Structure 1
Amino acid sequence: MQTAMPIADTRRPWLMTAVPLVAGLLLMYTPTVLELWRTIWQSEEQGHGPLILAVSLWLFWQKREEFAAVAQDGGRTTLGWVVLAFGLLLYVFGRSQDIILFEVGSQIPLLAGACAVLFGWRAVRVVAFPILFLVFMAPLPAAIIDSMTGPLKRSVSVVAEVVLYELGYPIARSGVVLQIGQYQLLVADACSGLNSMFSLSAVGLLYLYLMGHASRWRNALIVLSILPIAFVANALRVMILVLVTYHFGDEAGQGFIHGTAGMVLFVIALALLFAFDSVLGLFDRRGGQRKGAA
């Protein structure tokens, strides 16, 4: 008579390795997370940071069974050590020079390299998305913000002016200043939508990952649609702000900015993303039916 080995025993080897790894990561990155919490995550632009961290941890937890199944293989590779060393150097440099982008970004190569060295590249592939998703914790580089904010502000201003003018509203534009009726509205840096595009990209990629569509072309089109959808949603947010100000006054417009503007943006963007995916789903099902008929 054979006795089945307890599940806990089969998992013990990788757990014994994972526990000190997790402890080391907590020791390294707890000061980083606390610093982010006190500074960058308090801003409206980077307020999504804690959610990104929480979602990544949840995704890791969801993958624990699949990870355990392949972690038994081990697999110590030279490339894994190189990636791990790069992550450590990036962390040390970012921490010592107070470059938060490098410090936060070092999590990705460090986690990937450590998993490859200890558990093999198959294990890395299992948790690849949760690891890469951590990139959205890092703030956007200042160079990208400076180079893209101006063009985005102008584009949003032009779209808002053209659409509202075609709808019959008395609107004019001078640069990034919109004049509607007796009110002048400046499309500020926060209205450029750059940070919103970054956070909405995170939401879009998470949606795509959770949906798990088998069709590659459908996945590719959804990825390509994320930034245009974010831009359209931001332009709609600016137009709603202009209309609220025009119909209800400047005080109501300012209340909209500080109250529900961010929520409106995400609701619009998610609605557009779901609608686009639903349309693609119709073509996807038709394609599947044609293949079945053939």
Structure 2
Amino acid sequence: MAAAAPSAGTPEQRAGQGAAAVALALAGTFVWLLIWYWPTAQGIAAIWWRSETFAHGLVVLPICAWLVWRRRDRLARPQPTAWAALPVALAGLAWLLARMVSVNALEHLAFVTMLVGALAGMLGWRLSRVLAFPLLFLFFGAPVGEFLMPVLMQHTATFTVGALRLSGVPVFQEGLHFIVPNGRWSVVEACSGIRYLIASLMVGTLYAYLNYHSLHRRLLFVALAAAVPIVANWVRAYLIVMLGYLTDNRVAAGVDHLVYGWLFFGVVILLMFAVGARWREEGEPAPALPAAAAPAGTAAVRWSPVLALAAVTAAWPLLLARFDAPVAAFEVALAMRAEVPGWTPDDRVDPGLRPHFLGARGEFRRSWRRGDEVVTLQVHYYAAQHPGRELVMWGNRLVGGERPAWVLLDERGDELPVAADGSPVTVRRAVVGSQDGQRRLAVWSWYWMDGRVVTSDIRAKALTALDRLSGRADDAAHVALIVPLGDDEASARVSAQDFARAAGPALEAMLRQAAEMAR
């Protein structure tokens, strides 16, 4: 990170000197952050390389460099300012918390925010305004947005089923899965449209910047670039199912429906650009040549903002080293010693479903019977959490694995008496079905975090981060009650409620004992 002293000369000379100084400031700041945040930057680049959803990130940096080069005749020498230290510090704190609990999306977004803030601080107010769009365009390099998948998938399934019914095709829907007379279809992650949405937003934003000069036209086209891929994905999904239905699955089944999807998306985007070109604004005002920079004062005054930005960016990796000490491998034995009143253990019963939670320090699984009622308790226990051994991490879910034998049919909130004092609280209730469609299970699940019942992944991560920052233990568990589901869903709910009420004290005692063992 370097600051250059102002110089005089003709406007053309100042423009050339300014472009060189800006390039040096941008490159130096970028390299400085890479030195301190190399693991994060490497992780972002790896996602660009292997993920089709975020492959557009590979061209973000070259596009930003080109956008800066286009404005080279407006560039003066940078005048670093320390005003950016505050947003950079806030982004650094977010990076620290995200890194501590392995929230990759927040970690990557915080890093890009730090980069943009540090670059703006090195350039100063005037140059930051001139290069505002290239700087903000860097945010498209942050591989975030997958949290939108569930919502997009649900809306895609709803539209597809509704359109099929309007077309006269009989459909039976169960969550994201639906059946037509000659086949079964599912809206999976690849069908969510998130790839189309992110790609369209990036290209549409760039198109609006280059072709429009008025703010309202730019915003209108960006809004269009967000809406069109969502609706286009709905239509694409409907057409693919209709093609399969009309051709008895000879067309649009298997991998080729993804190819048809991208072709359809490409045509739609080209049409969108063709429409947008009709309102293209020509004749951008001629740029004013940069004025000579005002004297900067003493060297200490010139360099103090640079040192402030350098220090605030370097502080967070150093703080992380204090909290990221290696943990020796250990296991925790879970045993429920107390009886469950009114229920008899029966380990011969196995519902078949095993929640896909990896990296646990300990695991407990047992079934109980009361007459014809059967409830299975599954617990995965976590302590001294670190990457690969965390309660909330990618892949840990109720139904998962490479070849899951079960599919998630429905998920919503429901009340169950599982609080430490036996009072009812909201937990997750899911319905899963076997791949052959012959069996269904109701599953009530929640996170246990030092006596607190948590259902939100975000809240669970936040509590874990606070525990680690305050030096407290981060013990937690995933608890699931699994009940076979017949025609009467109400009876399954009664079984789960009665068992939770009866087993609550024994379950709490087992988890408390595990926490003592982990320490």
- Which category describes the TM-score, using the shorter chain as reference length? 0.7 to 0.9
Name the one with the larger helix percent: 1
Cα distance in 2 between the residues matched to 1:109 and 1:39: 18
Counterpart residue identity of residue 259, structure 1: V
Please say which of residues 91-100 and 197-206 is displaced more in the overlay: 91-100
| SS at 2:54 equivalent | coil
- Asked if 1 retains the 8 angstrom alpha-carbon contact of 2:64 and 2:134, the reply is yes
- The 8 Å contact of residues 193 and 230 in structure 2, kept in 1 or not, is answered as yes
Number of the residue aligned with 1:76: 81
Give 5+ residue unaligned stretches, structure 2: 1-8, 283-519
Equivalent position amino acid for 1:76 in 2: T
Distance 1:83 1:182, change over 3 A: same
Equivalent AA in structure 1 for residue 171 of structure 2: A
Which residue pairs with 1:288 in the alignment?
none
Q: 1:6 to 1:271 in 2, by over 3 A?
A: closer
> Secondary structure at the residue paired with 1:184?
strand
Q: CA deviation at 1:10?
A: 5.7
Of 86, 90, 107, 1:86 maps to 90
Superposition RMSD on alpha carbons, in Å?
A: 3.5
Give the structure 2 partner of residue 47 of structure 1: 55
Checking the alignment, whether the CA contact within 8 Å between 2:60 and 2:140 is kept in structure 1 is: yes
Letter in 2 for 1:190: A
How big is each residue's C-alpha offset from its partner over 1:81-105, in whole Å with a ceiling of 9 and x where there is no partner? 2123334444455455543323322
The answer on whether the counterparts of 1:56 and 1:133 sit within 8 Å (CA) in structure 2 is yes
Identity of matched residues, % = 24
2:124 aligns with: 120
Query: Normalising by the residue count of structure 2, what TM-score does the alignment of the two structures yield?
Result: 0.45
Task: Identify if the C-alpha distance between structure 1 residues 255 and 244 changes in structure 2 by more than 3 Å, giving closer, same or farther.
Answer: farther
Note the C-alpha offset of 1:154. 3.7
Identify, as 1 or 2, the structure richer in strand: 2
Structure 1, residues 5-51: CA drift from partner, whole Å, max 9, x if none?
85655655555544432331343455434323435641333333323
Contact persistence 2:164–2:171 (CA under 8 A): no
Give the number of aligned pairs: 270
Q: Secondary structure at the match of 1:254?
A: coil
CA distance in 1, matches of 2:20, 2:177: 63
Alignment match, 1:184: 184
Stretches of structure 1 lacking an aligned partner (at least 5 in a row): 286-294
Contact preservation (8 Å) 2:64, 2:138: yes
Contact kept? 1:108, 1:131, Cα under 8 Å: no
Equivalent residue number for residue 160 of structure 1: 160
1:101 equivalenced with 2:133 (yes/no)? no
For 2:258 and 2:19, locate their aligned partners in 1 and report how far apart those are by CA, in whole Å: 50
Residues 85 and 121 in structure 2, CA contact (< 8 A), matched pair in contact too: yes
Indicate if the aligned counterparts of 1:200 and 1:266 stay in contact, CA closer than 8 A. Answer: no
Matches within 5 A, 1:1-294: 9=17, 13-14=21-22, 17-28=25-36, 30-39=38-47, 41-66=49-74, 68-69=75-76, 71-72=77-78, 74-77=79-82, 79-95=83-99, 97-140=101-144, 144-145=147-148, 149=150, 151-166=151-166, 168=167, 170-175=169-174, 176-214=176-214, 216-250=215-249, 252=251, 253-268=253-268, 270-274=269-273, 276-277=275-276, 281=279
- Aligned counterparts of 2:29 and 2:100: Cα–Cα separation in 1: 22
Which residue type is aligned with residue 140 of structure 1?
Answer: V
TM-score by length of 1: 0.73
Partner of 2:402: none
Q: Distance in 1 between matches of 2:24 and 2:155?
A: 54
Residue pair 1:153, 1:188 contacting (<8 A) in 2 also: yes
